Each structure stands twice: as structure tokens, then as C-alpha cells.
């Protein structure tokens, strides 16, 4: 099989807040896939960025009495630090305020402008007279015009699901000054999205899985609305060339940030940007996102790329939201857990493993249930996987000076474990992580039953059965090694500690085919400790 060249991105975290456990679902899902691709020998580049622009960043910086640029840089450093603690294997991380994003955004805009794909319209907008600024939708709250629920956002109602403009709200108020907004006219730029309707229908049909297709085809029943890509000053963003006082809407340049981070990486590493982003590129590009931003990534983004003569994504993979103990993450209930707080109190691999045990290729929501997490980690990782190495290594150390047997005692079980390689490769490729966990834990059970059946603790007591005890336990270590290889993209830290125990260099996927007869292992040291519910309940939330 020839080596694949793949570029991967995860959705960009916004600059005005820290990462929480909801963010980590996506980063972990993405990173497992990236690590797997590298594990099997593909060239897989993973880039990211902090989403810098927009009114929230500007206002957050104003409150802190710092510039938006300083706020963004500080956020990006913090985001990157947290991602590294979860062993997210990014090749490059910037912010969408980087030079490359300014340049590529303006280039794309100019290409769209040259093709008459951008038009101007005068629109009515909510204006805060006290703050002297136009208000983004989310900075207006009021009563839903359909169901009359109060305190609803300016773009949609949480109670009935209606969508509308802020101007349709009953009794609207600015969230910045609590004053009633006035209505002012402003000239804005719009991208002609409907010009790409036929193209998008074909792209969606050919490039997305059924979950997303069904969701997106609902929007094709009507004409696609022109998409506003400009905002009025004051605004922290990229100025639109030729349009004084106008800035690109954050959602226009945020997705371009994927290209910008990759361009920044290319320039540092001497890689060809065009090999990945030219219209005729044979390489692969994948975006991992949450289901709430499907519209931007699966309609606007491919249309903009097509209009600007760049290649479109090979596919977009979406996931659901995270709930905690069956409820939405809530600061008041202490379930809004910051990713940094979790990683400071627990081995991050346990969250990686737990999310993997819940993830599939669907967009269903995932519940982070504390009791379930404790049971899965203690039963699966500690009780089954790591216990297999622990119970076998003791006999190898005592009976054979840490040297594995020169011969396999039960070749059938070794071959049986190795035979799962191709189906697990398929599962990883299709992001069916929960299926992987189920299969590997079933193998763990088989390995432990094999040891239980052979009873090396009894064999070791008989002088003429000691060799068989060594062989059986050596088989157990061989099986543990295969399992670690299969699980390595999911639990990288546990895999690294296991490699030290196995006295080996970094293991790759094809190493599962090799045997380590006659090799030496190290003394077994605790790889992962059991956790308890009380520990989890000490997480304060924010």
C-alpha cells in the first residue's frame, strides 16, 4: 500500500476562553485518527490555531485593559499548553491573526470579487447608541417572536428552535448596555452562496457520510441565502481592502485559518503548500468539527474554496456534544470542567480512553458519566490490560531473570490476536473507536482467561513445570505487547510506559507481526493507578 499524504485540522478554539472537556472530545477524536495514520506509516500533518477575531475578543480585551492581540496570544499559548498535556500531536499551532491568514484571506476575497461572487447590499442592523457600535446577533437578547419565551438570543430561540434576526425579537436589549437598540442601515458585502448550489449538492453527496448528508440536504430544499462576510468597525479582525471601516466576518477568515496554519508550517519546513491546496491536488484534507458548525464547513467553506480556485476538503467529520452526568455542562452545577483542571488531577489518557469508548462515526451526543468513567478505567485499563502485564512479568522476573522464553507455548492465541489487525485498521480509518475498544477488551479477556487456564502460579511450584510457566507468561507478555500496539493511538502515555517496560523502541503498527522471543523486559512499575468517584467529584468546575 502506497503512503498517503494527509492534512488534518480540528475546529479552532475561540480566543476569549479556556479549553473545557467539551473541546477535548474533538481534539482527542482528531488526534487518535492522526496518530493512527502515522502509526500505519502514512504522512499525516496536523495543524491548528486559536480563532482570534470578532467582537467577543475585542470586548474581552477591553475588560482586561489589554489589546486584542495580547489577549489572543495569551489564549493561544494557554490552548497549546493544554493540548500538549493531552498528547495532542500538532505539527503547527498559530492564531488566525497571523500574517498568513491576513494574506490568504485577502487573496481569496480578491478572487471571489474578480468573479463577481461578492455583492453589496444595504441592510438594517441593531445599533447600540450607548456603545456606539453595531451589535452582532448574540449581543442582542429579547423575547422570541414565535413562542414568546423571554431572554432568548438574537439569532435563535433555545426554547422552540426558531431562527430569526435580532430585529424580529420582542423587547430587544443590548447585552452590552441593557439599552434598547436602535436600527441603522449599513452597507455590507455578501457571498453569493446559491451560485454553488448544484456544486455543493454533488460535493455533499460524494464527500460526506450519511449522517451529515441527511442534515445538509434539508437546506437544499430552498435557495441558499447570500452570506454576509463583512462587519462594521469597531471590530477586531482583518480589514477588507478597498472598503474603509469594514472587516471580514470572523467566520469568513476562521476556516481560512486552516490554510494559514498549514502555510506557516510549509514555510518553516520547506513543504509545498500547493501540493495540498491546488485545484488538482491528489493529497487528502480532512476537517474534524462539532455538529453545530456543519453549515459553515460543509456549505460556505467548500463554496468559497471552489469560488477561489482552491481544492475542497476530501471530507468533513462531525461529532456530537458532551454532556456531564446526563446534563449540559453547567458552571452552577460544577460540571463545566476545564481541560487543564482535569489533566492536573488525572492521567489524560483516561479521558482519551473514555471518549474513545463512546465515539463512533455518528453525530450523537456523548455523556461523560463519572461512575461509568471510573468503572471503565478500573475494569478495562487497570483490571484487564495492565494487570495482564503485571501478573505475567512477576513470573518472568523470578523464574528467568526478566528474560522471555525462546519459544512460544501457544502459537494459536498469538496468531489469533495478530489476525485482528486488518479489521482494526478499518475501524480506525472509519473513526469507529468504540468498536475498537470493545474488540480489544474482548481480546484482553481472552488473554487473561488463557493465563487463568494455564495457572502459572501452580506450574512455578513444580521444578519440571517451571519452563512451561515461563513460556505461558512470556505468551502473556507477547499478547500484552500486541494489545498495546493496537491501542497506542488512543492511550499514548500508557503505550510509552509500556514500551519502557517491554524494553523496546517506539512501536509501530506492523510490529504486531513480530515476536520478541528471548528478549529481556524491565521490572514492572505501576503504569496506571485505579481511580475512584470521590476523586472525580473533587473537580470544582468553572
The CA distance from 219 to 224, in Å, is 7
pLDDT reported for residue 328: 87
Same domain, 19 and 33: yes
In contact, 95 and 52? CB cutoff 8 Å: yes
Residue 79 has a pLDDT of 98
Cα–Cα nearest to 481, from 453, 508, 457, 455: 508
Closest CA to 456 of 530, 527, 405: 405
Mean pLDDT of 208-228: 91
State pLDDT tens for residues 298-345.
Answer: 999 999 999 999 999 999 999 999 999 998 887 777 778 999 999 999
Residues 406, 242: Cα–Cα separation, whole Å: 75
Q: Give yes or no for residue 221 having a pLDDT over 70.
A: yes
Is residue 502 in a domain? Answer: yes
Q: Are residues 96 and 154 in the same domain?
A: no
Confirm whether 337 is domain-assigned: no
- Report the C-alpha gap between 361 and 316 in whole angstroms: 11
Give the C-alpha separation, 304 to 108, whole Å: 8
Across the range 343-355, mean pLDDT stands at: 97
DSSP 54-123: SHHHHHHHHHHTS-HHHHHHHHHHHHHHHHHHTT---SEEEETTSHHHHHHHHHHHHHHHHTT-EEEEEE
| 540 or 42, which is more confident | 42
Whether the per-residue pLDDT at 120 is higher than 90: the answer is yes
Let me know whether 103 and 162 are in one domain: no
**Which set of grid coordinates corresponds to residue 367?**
455523556
Q: Judge whether residue 491 has pLDDT over 70.
A: yes
What's the confidence (pLDDT) of residue 1?
Answer: 63
In whole angstroms, give the CA distance from residue 314 to residue 203: 9
- Please report whether residue 333 resides in a domain: no
**pLDDT at res. 474:** 98
H-only helix segments in 139-208: 197-207
Q: How does 89-121 read in b/e, with b if 16+ C-beta sit within 10 Å?
A: bbbbbbbbbbebbbebbbebbebbeeeebbeee
Strands 366-368 and 322-324, how do they pair? parallel
Would residue 73 count as lying in a domain? yes
Mark whether 162 and 46 lie in a shared domain: no
Q: Is 90 exceeded by the pLDDT of residue 105?
A: yes
**pLDDT of amino acid 463:** 92
Query: Is 10 among the domain residues?
Result: yes
The answer to whether 359 and 31 have CB atoms below 8 angstroms apart is: no
**Alpha carbons 49 and 256: distance in angstroms, whole number:** 11
**Residue 538 in domain:** no
Q: What is the CATH number of the domain that holds 264?
A: 3.40.50.620
pTM to 2 decimals?
0.95
The 10s digit of each residue's pLDDT in 44-84 is: 999 999 999 999 999 999 999 999 999 999 999 999 999 99
Out of 304, 319, 334, a domain closes at 319
pLDDT at position 2 is 84
Q: How far is CA 339 from the centre of its chain?
A: 13
How far is Cα 151 from Cα 143, in angstroms, rounded to an integer? 6
Count other Cβ atoms within 10 Å, centred on residue 144: 22
What is the rounded distance in angstroms from the CA atom of residue 482 to the CA atom of residue 511?
A: 8
Same domain, 134 and 279: no
pLDDT in tens, 370-415: 999 999 999 999 999 999 999 999 999 999 999 999 999 999 999 9
In this structure, the answer to whether residues 9 and 34 fall within a common structural domain is yes
* Domain membership flag for residue 228: no
* Same domain as 258, residue 306: yes
| 526 backbone φψ class: left, alpha, beta (φ>0; ψ -120 to 50) | beta
101 and 208 inside one domain: yes
Question: Secondary structure of the chain: what % helix, strand, coil (to 5)?
Answer: 50, 15, 35
More confident residue, 161 or 498: 498
> Does 105 share its domain with 126?
no
d(CA 104, CA 304): 12
| Domain stops at, among 298, 319, 340 | 319
Q: Which residues, including other chains, have CB under 8 Å from residue 438's CB and lie 6 or more apart?
A: none
* pLDDT the model gives residue 158: 83
pLDDT category of residue 542 using cuts at 50, 70 and 90: low
Q: How many domains does the chain have?
A: 3
User: Rounded mean pLDDT of 167-187?
Assistant: 95
The percent of residues in the chain predicted with pLDDT above 90, rounded, is: 91
Residues 466 and 500 in one domain: yes
Q: Which residue has the cell 481534539?
A: 27
Q: List Cβ<8 Å contacts ≥24 apart for 63-72.
A: 68/236, 69/97, 71/15, 71/16, 72/15, 72/97
pLDDT tens digits for 405-431? 999 999 999 999 999 999 999 999 999
Q: Are residues 212 and 95 in the same domain?
A: yes
Kindly report, residue by residue over 236-280, the tens digit of the pLDDT: 999 999 999 999 999 999 999 999 999 999 999 999 999 999 999
Query: Which CATH number fits the domain that encloses residue 446?
Result: 1.10.730.10
Q: Are residues 137 and 95 in the same domain?
A: no
Q: Which structural domain, as residue segments, surrounds residue 180?
A: 118-191
Pairwise CA distance, residues 352 & 28, whole Å = 6
Query: Is residue 520 domain-resident?
Result: no
Q: What is the mean pLDDT of the chain?
A: 96
| Spatial CA neighbour of 294 closest among 69, 6, 11, 4 | 11
Amino acid at each position: 500500500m502506497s503512503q498517503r499524504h494527509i492534512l488534518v485540522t480540528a475546529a479552532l478554539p475561540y480566543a476569549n476562553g479556556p479549553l473545557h472537556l467539551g473541546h477535548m472530545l474533538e481534539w482527542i477524536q482528531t488526534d487518535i485518527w492522526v496518530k493512527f495514520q502515522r502509526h500505519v506509516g502514512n504522512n499525516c500533518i496536523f495543524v491548528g490555531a486559536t480563532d482570534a477575531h470578532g467582537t467577543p475578543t475585542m470586548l474581552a480585551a477591553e475588560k482586561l485593559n489589554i489589546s486584542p492581540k495580547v489577549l489572543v496570544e495569551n489564549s493561544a499559548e494557554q490552548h497549546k499548553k493544554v493540548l500538549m498535556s493531552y498528547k495532542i500531536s500538532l505539527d503547527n499551532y498559530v492564531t488566525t491573526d497571523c500574517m498568513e491568514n491576513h494574506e490568504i484571506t485577502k487573496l481569496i476575497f480578491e478572487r471571489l470579487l474578480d468573479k463577481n461572487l461578492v455583492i453589496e447590499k444595504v441592510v438594517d442592523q441593531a445599533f447600540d447608541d450607548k456603545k456606539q457600535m453595531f451589535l452582532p446577533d448574540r449581543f442582542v437578547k429579547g423575547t422570541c417572536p414565535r413562542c414568546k419565551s423571554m431572554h432568548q438570543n438574537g439569532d435563535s430561540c433555545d426554547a422552540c428552535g426558531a431562527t430569526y434576526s435580532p430585529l424580529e425579537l420582542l423587547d430587544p436589549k443590548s447585552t452590552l448596555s441593557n439599552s434598547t437598540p436602535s436600527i441603522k442601515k449599513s452597507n455590507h458585502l455578501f457571498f453569493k452562496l446559491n451560485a454553488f448550489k448544484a456544486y455543493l449538492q454533488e460535493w455533499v453527496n460524494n464527500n460526506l457520510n450519511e449522517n451529515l448528508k441527511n442534515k445538509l440536504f434539508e437546506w437544499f430544499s430552498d435557495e441558499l441565502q447570500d452570506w454576509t462576510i463583512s462587519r462594521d468597525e469597531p471590530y477586531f479582525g482583518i480589514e477588507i481592502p478597498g472598503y474603509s471601516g469594514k472587516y471580514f466576518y470572523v467566520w469568513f477568515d476562521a476556516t481560512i485559518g486552516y490554510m494559514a496554519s498549514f502555510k506557516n508550517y510549509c514555510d518553516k519546513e520547506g513543504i509545498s503548500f500547493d501540493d495540498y491546496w491546488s485545484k488538482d491536488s491528489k493529497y487528502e484534507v480532512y476537517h474534524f468539527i462539532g455538529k453545530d458548525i456543519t453549515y459553515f464547513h460543509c456549505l460556505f467553506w467548500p463554496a468559497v474554496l471552489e469560488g477561489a480556485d482552491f481544492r475542497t476538503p476530501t471530507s468533513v467529520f462531525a461529532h456530537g456534544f458532551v454532556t456531564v452526568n446526563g446534563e449540559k455542562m453547567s458552571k452552577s452545577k460544577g460540571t463545566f470542567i476545564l481541560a487543564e483542571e482535569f489533566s492536573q488531577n488525572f492521567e489524560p489518557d483516561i479521558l482519551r480512553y473514555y471518549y474513545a469508548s463512546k465515539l463512533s462515526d455518528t453525530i450523537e451526543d456523548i455523556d461523560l458519566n463519572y461512575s461509568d468513567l471510573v468503572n471503565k478505567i478500573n475494569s478495562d485499563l487497570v483490571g484487564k490490560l495492565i494487570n495482564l502485564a503485571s501478573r505475567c512479568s512477576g513470573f518472568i522476573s523470578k523464574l528467568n531473570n526478566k528474560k522471555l522464553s525462546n519459544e512460544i507455548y501457544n502459537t494459536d492465541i498469538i496468531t489469533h490476536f495478530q489476525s485482528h489487525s486488518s479489521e482494526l485498521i478499518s475501524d480506525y480509518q472509519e473513526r469507529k473507536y468504540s468498536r475498537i475498544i470493545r474488540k480489544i477488551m474482548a481480546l484482553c479477556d481472552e488473554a487473561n482467561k488463557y493465563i487463568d487456564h494455564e495457572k502459572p502460579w501452580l506450574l512455578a511450584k513444580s521444578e519440571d513445570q517451571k519452563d512451561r510457566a515461563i513460556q505461558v507468561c512470556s505468551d502473556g507478555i507477547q499478547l500484552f505487547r500486541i494489545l498495546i500496539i493496537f491501542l497506542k493511538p488512543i492511550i499514548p502515555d500508557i503505550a510509552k510506559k509500556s514500551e519502557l517496560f517491554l524494553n523496546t523502541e517506539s512501536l509501530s503498527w506492523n510490529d504486531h507481526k513480530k515476536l520478541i522471543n528471548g528478549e529481556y523486559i524491565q521490572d514492572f512499575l505501576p503504569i496506571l493507578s485505579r481511580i475512584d468517584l470521590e476523586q472525580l467529584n473533587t473537580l470544582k468546575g468553572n
